[in-house]
Structure 1
């Protein structure tokens, strides 16, 4: 069955799956273990991200896209942690870029999956309500759905410098009320996302935003409210914040 002939997203026979590209090394957190395997509260971030997707009862399959030479290690890692009974998972080797890895994750989905979430392994603490709201919007007919937050800071468009700390000329000040900071999971009608990966070519390091690829098809993309705890763990200070959020959750929820 071709991607464009999948079961319609609103069908009672459709399934929702999540693809988690986790093949990158995360150099901004420093050398060593790949970012997705760094421990958060004693548990690898990747496991938190898988559990965050599996926390939604609508998600019946999680596809983890591992480093090309690390799929067995990642599978063994997930095998050692408990997931909800309603959620299966598979691990597939990734590609050289995030875009290639997402495509490989899509290729691994069974035919009855019609709603696809793409989630950053580096966003381990996204609440289940955010996941469910993305799924609900896709099932409601939106081809692509992005959780996002309003910006707290004023943003300046500049002429980029040479990276050495020299002053950069300001070109414009976008209207902050019209801007949003995008998070994941991003949700898609499977056929739309598959078409974007087939038709949209991105040079260099490839696409880092799947919804942006759908935009380039001319298909509509909508935003739903994100959550402050769905932040991306990229730098050491983010790990400090993530540990604090996790500690608060454990104190409040007892897990």
Structure 2
């Protein structure tokens, strides 16, 4: 495996260009707020807290570039940050972000809808790429009983639900996007890369890295924020 060098800069393409039709919030999903903060800002804060990302490229719907720069001005002050317009598909949006990634050995692709991904997951993915794995995905065990379309039970012990950020050696991801037909039908960048013959490494994800897709997910996200605030608050009577 080619792998990324231990000292290589890390870039992250934060994909925030989706319309969010299923969320039915009246605006693009990444700009919907939880706790009065846009999902894409929550996502950027998590990436910053991981302290392993050097450069951020945010991909947003056409016309929202200026608003995005304003939203992120306090989050990305210490980073190299670019904002670009996305394409008609998620794959096209990732390609648009990847096109402006320069001088990086590791590239992450992160979905802004997974806005509450713990920083340790981000660090874990980067560490695995730097250890020599050209494609890395975080994933969690499947807890539901599953059946296929014939009604047969599926062995869930062999299954994992894939999350983001997904990490790659930058050259590997660029090659995969250069021949997208090879990954026709791929639902994420790891699938696109795998179609070129690269093995995908799975590392531990986290339950808090769920994808905000439906109105019920927004309720869960709000509850998670309250829970995090309770954990962070000092106990009564303790020094602040």
Q: Which TM-score applies when normalising by structure 2?
A: 0.91
| Aligned counterparts, 1:39-78, within 5 A | 39-78=33-72
The answer as to whether partners of 2:3 and 2:133 remain within 8 angstroms in 1 is no
Tell me the residue number matched to 2:124.
133
Query: In the alignment, what sits opposite 2:238?
Result: none
Q: Does 1:210 align with 2:189?
A: yes
The runs of at least 4 consecutive aligned structure 1 residues that moved more than 4 Å come to none
2: CA distance between counterparts of 1:252 and 1:56? Answer: 19
Matched, 1:105 2:100: no
Unaligned 5+ runs, structure 2 = 235-240
Provide the C-alpha distance between the structure 2 equivalents of 1:215 and 1:233, rounded to a whole number of angstroms: 26
Contact kept, 8 Å, 1:9 with 1:141, in 2: the verdict is: yes
Alpha-carbon distance between aligned partners in 2 of 1:123 and 1:39, rounded to the nearest angstrom:
13
Measure how far apart 1:8 and its partner are.
6.0
* TM superposition shift of 1:69: 2.4
Structure 2 match to 1:88: 80
Secondary structure in 2 matching 1:55: helix
Alignment of 1:10-25 (within 5 A): 10-12=5-7, 14-25=8-19
Taking the TM superposition and a 5 Å limit, the aligned residue runs for 1:99-248 are: 99-110=91-102, 112-158=103-149, 170=150, 172-201=152-181, 207-248=186-227
Contact preservation (8 Å) 1:54, 1:62: no
**Does the residue aligned with 2:168 lie in a helix, a strand or coil?**
strand
Unaligned runs of 5+ in 1: 1-6, 159-169
CA distance in 2, matches of 1:98, 1:19: 12
CA RMSD of aligned residues (A): 1.8
Residue pair 2:3, 2:134 contacting (<8 A) in 1 also: no
SS in 1 for 2:226: helix
DSSP-derived class of the 2:154 partner:
coil
Q: Which residue of 1 aligns with 2:237?
A: none
